[in-house]
Amino acid sequence: MWGPDDRSRCRRYAGSRTASCSPAQPLNIPEDPAVSTPAKPVVLIAEELSPATIEALGPDFEIRTCNGADRAELLPAIADVDAILVRSATKVDAEALAAAHRLKIVARAGVGLDNVDVKAATQAGVMVVNAPTSNIVSAAELAVALMLAAARHISPAHAALRGGEWKRSKYTGIELYEKTVGIVGLGRIGVLVAQRLSAFGMKVIAYDPYVQAGRAAQMGVRLVDLDTLLAESDFMSVHLPKTPETIGLIGAEQLARAKGSLVLVNAARGGIVDEAALFDALKTGQIAAAGLDVFATEPCTDSPLFELENVVATPHLGASTDEAQEKAGIAVARSVRLALSGELVPDAVNVQGGVIAEDVRPGIPLTEKLGRVFTALAGEAAQQIDVEVRGEITEYDVKVLELAALKGVFADIVEEQVSYVNAPLLAAERGTEVRLVTDAESPDHRNLITIRGTLADGTQVSVSGTLVGIGQRERLVEVNGFAVDIEPTTHLAFLTYEDRPGMVGVIGGILGDASVNIAGMQVSRQDKGGAALVALSVDSAIPADTLAELQGAIEADAVRAVDLT
């Protein structure tokens, strides 16, 4: 067994240098400070990943590899690395985390995290990331493949032909066209399956208590309860996570409500469908057929289900495509780069000890931009900042939006790099009190994010934004109490002045003379003849002398420019 100093058992790649050794060879490492204290962050790749993973990491890291499934090799190898990339064979548990003295991130090149102790990592201050969307297309395609194979008896017909038998009449199948398919779980993979089966001419219904009916209707899917789905479906595909609530969700009672012609597919997680109940239903003809890629206990090579001709089964191949593996490797490589540079990692599962919900993620970049706009409007540090989050997303943990707001607030006013880790410290150092305020009620927008602050003289500064449409387009909708509707483009400007005729023409003329093209302009006022605000989106930065000219020409109370590059 190797000791902790024998880390060179793993191959090291640093630039064009390559060094390797084996237990049978004596270690002969020169006394080089760069070896004991690498200038570059060290990334350990503990399992075989696609070559694209290395390319995505780039030249900024020292890359080592080892066999993570071998504990005697893993524990010394992980001792002095900054990041480790794994798939499913390497167990990153409390023991491994304790051996990793400077580990900052564990990256799982795949969807599940069964082999990573997320709780122990969180307690150790180690970020955990995965690649949640890397295999969704592959998994959806396999579900459709299993459905087609079960409907057309592909597996037994193939076995019969290999056995020298030509049994055309015995293996007469059924079409998917104009049949009803029930999707259990309308998440990312469920949606992809629904889209693909709609193209087959199928009627799609779905059961998912966490999806709004309006969202389903946009996809041409009718939401129903589980009993209705079982009663109406000719085909059924399961796409749920495995939780205490979903284990055994489809059991004997549910299968008894199904049509005798039902073809059931489970390519999600084993255990959601009760395998004993499924066997009985298939054996007795209570349902017609099943396609299975997952099982309650894996690996599974001995199941009564495998004895049935009306079952087609695969050994958990949902993510087993070249494309999915490459996507996973690239995704976690990017996450490692972000994490080691102090940036927020969207695919982190334990940021600040909490999970970033899928519905919260699109608001992160918007909130950071709102923070930068807030700082430009304020022109000074605020004594207090409230990050207000309203609407449906308050059902989730939105703490990350507070961090995003602070990162934006301080990004343009401190010399050091601002990260989601040090932003709260910067606020504390400046005596800025920060509060996260949430409210499920949002009268005018589905979700609304507002950054509101109080300056030293009591002045209130605020900016609000939201995401609109299926494309989740970013919009600024309020600035210092004025209602606006403008895209937060790279170059913005805000001018407040006393409302009177001719001001829009003056502003346009001055900017035209300065060769600054206006991409968008909006005038907002609270009362006729009172205070007014012009919000501008322009194609290039407005020069300082032009801003001064604008202020003088319209006698503006304030002129603020924002550069979001």
Phi, psi dihedrals of residue 380, rounded to the nearest 5°: -165, 170
User: What sign does the CA torsion over 396, 397, 402, 405 have?
Assistant: negative
Q: Which of 250, 224, 251, 228 is nearest to 239 (CA)?
A: 250
Please tell me the predicted confidence (pLDDT) of residue 431.
Answer: 76
Q: Which residue has the higher pLDDT, 565 or 327?
A: 327
Q: Is the pLDDT of residue 173 over 80?
A: yes
Q: How far is Cα 325 from Cα 51, in angstroms, rounded to an integer? A: 10
* Range in 88-97, 99-108, 167-176, 344-353 the model is least confident about: 344-353
Question: What's the whole-number mean pLDDT along residues 212-218?
Answer: 77
| Predicted model pTM | 0.61
pLDDT digits (tens, 9 = 90+) for 330-340: 999 999 998 89
Q: Is the pLDDT of residue 19 over 50?
A: no
Q: Is the pLDDT of residue 7 over 50?
A: no
**Average predicted confidence (pLDDT) for the chain:** 87
Q: Which of 342, 522, 363, 490 is nearest to 422 (CA)?
A: 342
Q: How far is Cα 514 from Cα 395, in angstroms, rounded to an integer? A: 48
Please tell me the predicted confidence (pLDDT) of residue 203.
Answer: 97
In whole angstroms, how far apart are CA 330 and each of 42, 58, 64?
17, 11, 17
Task: DSSP for 58-81, please give it.
Answer: GGGSEEEE--TT-HHHHHHHTTT-
With cut-offs at 50, 70 and 90, classify the pLDDT of residue 121: confident
Question: What's the whole-number mean pLDDT along residues 482-497?
Answer: 94
pLDDT digits (tens, 9 = 90+) for 128-167: 988 878 889 999 999 999 999 999 999 999 999 999 999 9
Q: Which CATH class is domain 356-487?
A: alpha beta
Please tell me the predicted confidence (pLDDT) of residue 13.
Answer: 35
Can you name the residues that pair with 294 across neighbouring β-strands? none
Structure tokens at 190: 């469920």
Q: How far is Cα 85 from Cα 502, in angstroms, rounded to an integer? A: 62
Q: How far is Cα 294 from Cα 303, in angstroms, rounded to an integer? A: 12
Topology of domain 7-133+325-340, per CATH?
A: Rossmann fold (3.40.50)
User: Cβ(413)–Cβ(381) under 8 Å?
Assistant: yes
In this structure, which amino acid lies at residue 314?
A: T
Question: What's the whole-number mean pLDDT along residues 115-135?
Answer: 86
**b vs e for 50-88, b when ≥16 Cβ sit within 10 Å of the residue's Cβ?**
beebbebbeeebbbbbbbbeeeebbbbbbbbbbbbbbbb
Question: What's the whole-number mean pLDDT along residues 440-455?
Answer: 94
Please tell me the predicted confidence (pLDDT) of residue 381.
Answer: 75
Q: Which of 62, 53, 97, 63 is nearest to 78 (CA)?
A: 97
Q: Is the pLDDT of residue 6 over 80?
A: no
Q: Which of 20, 58, 62, 29 is nearest to 44 (CA)?
A: 62
Topology of domain 136-313, per CATH?
A: Rossmann fold (3.40.50)
Q: Is the pLDDT of residue 8 over 60?
A: no
Active site positions, annotated: 269, 298, 316
Count the Cβ atoms, other than its own, within 10 Å of residue 178: 10
pLDDT digits (tens, 9 = 90+) for 178-189: 999 999 988 889
Q: Under DSSP, is residue 139 helix (H, G, I), strand (E, B) or coil?
A: helix
With cut-offs at 50, 70 and 90, classify the pLDDT of residue 415: low
In whole angstroms, how far apart are CA 392 and each of 211, 218, 241?
12, 18, 22
Please tell me the predicted confidence (pLDDT) of residue 3.
Answer: 36
Topology of domain 489-565, per CATH?
A: Alpha-Beta Plaits (3.30.70)
Question: What's the whole-number mean pLDDT along residues 101-105?
Answer: 93
Count the Cβ atoms, other than its own, within 10 Å of residue 421: 17
**b vs e for 227-261, b when ≥16 Cβ sit within 10 Å of the residue's Cβ?**
eebbebbbbbbbbbebeeebbbbbbeebbeebbee
DSSP at 257: T
Q: How far is Cα 206 from Cα 406, in angstroms, rounded to an integer? A: 40
Question: What's the whole-number mean pLDDT along residues 112-129?
Answer: 85
**Where, residue-wise, is CATH 3.30.1330.90 in the chain?**
356-487
In whole angstroms, how far apart are CA 538 and each of 238, 479, 492?
49, 17, 6
Question: Between β-strands 180-184 and 235-238, what pairing exists: parallel, antiparallel or unpaired?
Answer: parallel
Percent of the chain with pLDDT over 70: 90
**Where, residue-wise, is CATH 3.30.70.260 in the chain?**
489-565
Report CA 213 to chain centroid distance, whole Å.
Answer: 23
pLDDT digits (tens, 9 = 90+) for 344-403: 787 777 765 455 787 898 898 999 999 999 999 988 778 899 999 999 999 998 998 999
Q: How far is Cα 109 from Cα 336, in angstroms, rounded to an integer? A: 11
Can you name the residues that pair with 563 across neighbouring β-strands? 491
Residues 6+ apart with CB under 8 A from 564: 369, 372, 488, 489, 490, 491, 492
In this structure, which amino acid lies at residue 433?
A: E
**Where, residue-wise, is CATH 3.40.50.720 in the chain?**
7-133+325-340, 136-313
Count the Cβ atoms, other than its own, within 10 Å of residue 487: 12
Q: How far is Cα 382 from Cα 419, in angstroms, rounded to an integer? A: 19
Whether the link from the prior residue into 299 is cis, omega within 30° of 0, is yes
